[in-house]
């Protein structure tokens, strides 16, 4: 057998369309060819970006939890001091807005993490085999839970808690001023609707990205003078 002979890597039928768009090749790939090197480099990049997305995920979560700690303490102070109870619903509204954003951020982070995991699933077969797809377990009880899904559930629970805080604080000040009551109710409806609208709009912006106007680019002209 000729040791210098390059191995021919066949692309599976279900992957042909993917690789046609990905590297412009849907036929067999020759070992060490430019297309083969593209796949190897792409797999390394996909792993790196996935790790980067996970790191960003927890940094974002830390940022939100730090804010929730501060605003919860402030809400507790206002709620328990009679002179400032009328401000407690405002803090609850702010908390609910941030909680909604936190939920969408978690969902978005989960999406981008899975996006790179799907890419790894597609191309690892042609480099390392099915290493990333492999996992061991003793039975169904020992299968790993999804950390990100638990965090998404927690973010939804935080939303419910902040709306409960709003209702409780409104109940406490209900007899003080009807104008203030109506103002707070309008404010929470408006803030919730606006937050949901803009968060959903970011999803539409991503999915409709191909329909956007083209981007312009140019290279600067080098202006080097030999000394």
Instruction: Decide if 118 contacts 53 (C-beta within 8 A).
Output: no
Q: Give mean pLDDT, residues 25-36.
A: 78
Task: Give the torsion sign (CA, 161, 168, 69, 109).
Answer: positive
Give 193 or 176, the one with higher predicted confidence.
193
Instruction: Decide if 71 contacts 95 (C-beta within 8 A).
Output: yes
- Tell me the C-alpha to C-alpha distance, in Å, between residue 181 and each of 45, 77, 94, 207: 54, 20, 16, 39
Residues in the chain: 227
Q: Give mean pLDDT, residues 77-102.
A: 93
Instruction: Decide if 101 contacts 159 (C-beta within 8 A).
Output: no
Rounded to an integer, what distance in angstroms lies between the CA atom of residue 106 and that of residue 91? 22
pLDDT at 23 over 50: yes
Q: What is the per-residue pLDDT for 207?
A: 60
Q: Give mean pLDDT, residues 104-123.
A: 88
Question: What dihedral angle (degrees, nearest 10) is formed by the CA atoms of 40, 44, 46, 47?
Answer: 140
pTM of the shown model: 0.79
- Tell me the C-alpha to C-alpha distance, in Å, between residue 65 and each of 33, 62, 140, 155, 167: 48, 5, 32, 10, 22
The closest of 100, 103, 124, 104 to 50, measured between CA atoms, is 124
Q: What is the per-residue pLDDT for 1?
A: 47
8 membership: H or E segment, kind and range: strand 8-9
Q: What is the per-residue pLDDT for 65?
A: 92
User: Per-residue pLDDT tens for 166-190?
Assistant: 999 999 999 888 999 999 999 999 9
Percentage of the chain exceeding pLDDT 90: 40
Counting Cβ atoms within 10 Å, is residue 99 exposed (0-12), middle (13-18) or buried (19+)?
Answer: buried
Q: Give mean pLDDT, residues 182-206.
A: 88
């Amino acid at each position: 057998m000729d040791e210098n002979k390059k191995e021919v890597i066949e692309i599976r039928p279900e992957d042909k369309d993917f690789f046609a768009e990905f590297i412009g090749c849907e036929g067999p790939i020759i070992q060490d060819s430019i297309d083969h090197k593209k796949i190897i480099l792409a797999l390394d990049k996909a792993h790196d970006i996935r790790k980067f997305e996970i790191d960003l995920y927890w940094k974002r979560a830390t940022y939100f939890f730090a804010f929730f700690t501060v605003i919860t303490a402030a809400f507790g102070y206002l709620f328990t001091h009679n002179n400032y109870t009328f401000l407690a619903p405002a803090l609850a509204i702010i908390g609910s807005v941030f909680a909604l954003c936190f939920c969408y951020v978690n969902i978005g982070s989960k999406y981008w993490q899975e996006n790179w995991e799907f890419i790894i699933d597609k191309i690892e077969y042609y480099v390392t085999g099915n290493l990333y797809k492999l996992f061991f377990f003793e039975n169904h009880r020992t299968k790993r839970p999804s950390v990100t899904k638990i965090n998404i559930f927690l973010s939804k629970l935080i939303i419910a808690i902040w709306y409960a805080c709003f209702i409780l604080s409104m109940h406490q000040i209900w007899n003080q001023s009807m104008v203030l009551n109506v103002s707070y109710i309008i404010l929470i409806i408006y803030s919730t609707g606006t937050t949901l609208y803009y968060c959903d709009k970011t999803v539409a912006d991503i999915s409709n990205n191909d329909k956007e106007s083209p981007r312009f680019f140019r290279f600067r002209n080098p202006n080097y003078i030999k000394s």
